[in-house]
Amino acid sequence: MTATGPQGMLEGIRVLDLTSVVFGPYCTQLLADLGAEVTKVETPGIGDPFRWSGPAPASPNMAPGFMALNRGKRSVALDLKSATDQQVMRGLLEQADVFVVNVRGKALERLGLDYEAVRQIRPDIVYVHCVGFGQDGPYADLQAYDDVIQAATGTATLLPRVDGDPRPRYLPSLIADKVAGLHAAYGALAAIVHRQRTGEGQLVEVPMFEAFSSFMLLEHLGGQTFDPPVGPAGYPRQIDPLRQPFPTADGHISIVIYTHDAWDRVFALLGAADFIAQERFNVPGGRAQHQDELYARLAELTPQMTTEELLKQCHAAQLPAQPVRDLSEVIEDPHLNATSFFRRRAHPSEGTYIEQAQPVRFGAQVRRDLAPPPNLDGDGPAIRAQFGQNGPDK
């Protein structure tokens, strides 16, 4: 069993997961959260490389990142070059509704696991291929990791636009992997609905480069949206060096001033109503034209209050605001804990760990307890026995 409690919305959907690290596992984690039965195929002895991406209390291959991305899944270690394990893989494919894979195309062909080969085993398979680049372009066979995609999409040039340091830098998050994983999840769900309507399976290609380009350029294509361009790339509001958290007497706070009257309210609560009342700020477009001056003046005024004092004043004035917390403090956030976003659970080998909830809530499905992230090949014996095999090839 991979879950206890009420039936999930994808109950009965079997997902075979031949992915590793973040892109593919994030997709299959979301499907597991929705009730799908996910079987993770891993490399014998090593498993998903993300198993080794950080410290663990007991098993060195149960890193925090792996724990966050693999709850509710079964694990079987298969050597896909061995005849015995190929037989197990074929049996799993015959039962699968969805096959999610992030192996590059040529390697899949060598393994006999490309779409056309798998379709011969399961004709109505939903085959989700997580790739670095679209397979009809010149980058088709290139490797892709988060850093590479941040570089190729221009994301590494965003911070220089903000702080003036010309060095390209990565955003310190596996943001391209995670965004692509979300695209893969909705692609799989759409293909499942299509199959239920028509009986037809299909190949779903999810290229990380294209997915993340779409995500980042929604606002940052900027003036290049038009032909000929009407301005440079980049959304000015997001790359404004002065639109940053404001200092307080004891920390920093984020205040979003988005509407005309919000400027009046924030300067009033800071005792500077006369400043915003100046004529140049009250002609059509004046506040947008002088936005840098407004932000600079705010940063001079906010240190007169503590973060808590300013937060209360902003909320009373209906201004969006939140304190800037250190990354290590988010786990203590009172709202996240009140909504049970963080839960302490017990893992059979790793002891107590923190699980983060699936953030989307569905009225037709209450939260279910998924099984803890699996140890490498933890379900291997049972899965092999299902297909008449006693153990892995030696």
Q: Indicate whether 241 belongs to any domain.
A: no
State whether 140 and 181 are in the same domain.
yes
Q: Indicate whether 137 belongs to any domain.
A: yes
DSSP code for 303? G
Percent of the chain's residues with pLDDT above 90: 93
State whether 165 and 25 are in the same domain.
yes
Q: Indicate whether 394 belongs to any domain.
A: no
What is the domain count for the chain? Answer: 2
Amino acid present at 128: V
State whether 256 and 308 are in the same domain.
yes
Cα–Cα distance for residue pair 25/70, rounded to 1 Å: 7
Question: In this predicted model, what pLDDT tens digit does every residue of 332-359 receive, in sequence order?
Answer: 999 999 999 999 999 999 999 999 999 9
State whether 174 and 309 are in the same domain.
no
State whether 58 and 101 are in the same domain.
yes
State whether 199 and 300 are in the same domain.
no
Lowest mean pLDDT among 119-133, 157-171, 185-199, 380-394: 380-394
DSSP 47-115: --GGGGSS--SS-TT--HHHHHH-TTEEEEE--TTSHHHHHHHHHHHHH-SEEEE-S-HHHHHHHT-SH
Cα–Cα distance for residue pair 283/267, rounded to 1 Å: 17
The half-sphere exposure of 59 on its side-chain side, counting CA atoms within 13 A, is: 20
Q: Indicate whether 239 belongs to any domain.
A: no
Round the average pLDDT of the chain to a whole number and report it.
95
DSSP alpha helices (H): ranges in 270-374? 273-276, 286-289, 291-301, 307-316, 334-338
Q: Indicate whether 221 belongs to any domain.
A: no
Q: Indicate whether 240 belongs to any domain.
A: no
State whether 59 and 124 are in the same domain.
yes
Q: End of a domain among 299, 323, 347?
A: 323
**Torsion sign across C-alpha atoms 46, 93, 120, 127:** negative
Question: In this predicted model, what pLDDT tens digit does every residue of 133-182 receive, in sequence order?
Answer: 999 999 999 999 999 999 999 999 999 999 999 999 999 999 999 999 99
State whether 38 and 99 are in the same domain.
yes
Confidence at residue 2, expressed as pLDDT on a 0 to 100 scale: 55
State whether 67 and 176 are in the same domain.
yes
> Which stretch of DSSP H or E encloses residue 17?
strand 14-18
Residue 394 has pLDDT above 60, yes or no: no
Residue 1 has pLDDT above 50, yes or no: no
**For range 173-194, the mean pLDDT:** 98
Confidence at residue 365, expressed as pLDDT on a 0 to 100 scale: 79
The half-sphere exposure of 341 on its side-chain side, counting CA atoms within 13 A, is: 12
Cα–Cα distance for residue pair 16/22, rounded to 1 Å: 16
Q: Indicate whether 261 belongs to any domain.
A: yes
Query: Domain span at residue 175?
Result: 3-215+336-386
Could you tell me the CATH number of the domain that includes residue 98?
3.40.50.10540
State whether 316 and 354 are in the same domain.
no
Q: Indicate whether 391 belongs to any domain.
A: no
226: left (phi over 0), alpha (psi -120 to 50) or beta: beta
The half-sphere exposure of 141 on its side-chain side, counting CA atoms within 13 A, is: 4
Could you tell me the CATH number of the domain that includes residue 312?
3.30.1540
